[in-house]
Amino acid sequence: MGKLVIVGTVAFDEIESPFGKTDKILGGAATFIGLAASQFNVDSTIVSIVGDDLPQAYLDLLISKGIDISGIEIVKGGKTFYWKGKYHNDLNSRDTLVTELNTLADFNPVVPENYKDADVVMLGNLHPMVQMSVINQMTKRPKLIVLDTMNFWMDNALEDLLEVIKHIDVITINDEEARQLTGEYSLVTAAAKIQTMGPKYVVIKKGEHGALLFHDEHIFFAPALPLKEVFDPTGAGDTFAGGFTGYLAATDNISFENMKNAVIHGSNLASFSVEKFGTERMENLERDEVNKRLHQFKALTQFDIELK
């Protein structure tokens, strides 16, 4: 079984969508990544920082999923990162109402000793220098380093971001971010340009329209499963990343062919995440549900065609 290091936020989210609203609930990139990766029974740890206002029940949930939490720093008297947002009717756009960095403002990640030789590192969306410090702590070069980032860092820390991009194997960004990073409108051209920056593989997430995987001249597309109900897209991209990296760590195979499977597994798990608010759907997700939906994915994309 491969080891997986997950770096990112464990946070409070408060969400409003056309389907209702929540009080403060469990959120954060590392939380969603960890819950998704736990579907593959990988040996994973979360590296994060929280205040002592985070309920013990939230930490117990992570432990119950087999996630090592020794890398989560708990600051006495500190407050946990908090985000509040409101989704528009199409659920593709949202307004950020409140962002409180709190303890995250002084986050210096410390990778647990027994995970410094991990096979896979998943760098959740954080300041590029925080991501770089994790890479520097690894005692050997991981087989795979995956980075998630966003337009905020392209606007405010581009030089640092370009430096960390040199040291990674896979980048996961959305289509708008791929265009901003490269100045190219065509996603094919943008992906090729990003590969010259360092990553061998580029995953471009397109939300409800699926995800694209690029490697050299090869392109693979995974659709998003059409769903009857979508309650809350928060964490869907992180759930995708958790399924993607969890599957690769579990199978110990980082070939392009296996990455295709990883993209499908990531998309599959993300389709569950959006069905309830926050982490609720992922907390009790059963393996037979996951497998049943994988068959739906297969039926959605498989066809026989007669070529003349």
Strand residues in 182-272 grouped as ranges (E): 201-205, 211-215, 218-222
Can you tell me the distance from the alpha carbon of 145 to that of 138, in angstroms, rounded to the nearest whole number? 11
Quote the pLDDT of residue 52.
Answer: 97
Quote the pLDDT of residue 303.
Answer: 82
- The larger pLDDT score, comparing residue 15 to residue 207, is at 15
Quote the pLDDT of residue 94.
Answer: 86
Quote the pLDDT of residue 91.
Answer: 76
Tokens coding 125: 């969306």
Q: What is the mean pLDDT of the chain?
A: 94
Quote the pLDDT of residue 232.
Answer: 87
Q: What is the 3-state secondary structure (H, E, C) of 58-115?
A: HHHHHHHCCEECCCEEEECCCCCCEEEEEECCCCCCEEEEEEECHHHHHCCCCCCHHH
The pLDDT tens digits of the residues spanning 169-194 come to 999 999 999 999 999 999 999 999 99
Mean pLDDT of 36-40: 97
The pLDDT tens digits of the residues spanning 100-125 come to 999 999 999 999 999 999 999 999 99
- The larger pLDDT score, comparing residue 290 to residue 299, is at 290
For residue 49, pLDDT beyond 70: yes
Q: pLDDT band at 305, cuts 50/70/90?
A: confident
What percent of the chain clears pLDDT 70, i.e. is strictly above it?
100
Which residue matches tokens 């960004």? 173
Quote the pLDDT of residue 1.
Answer: 63
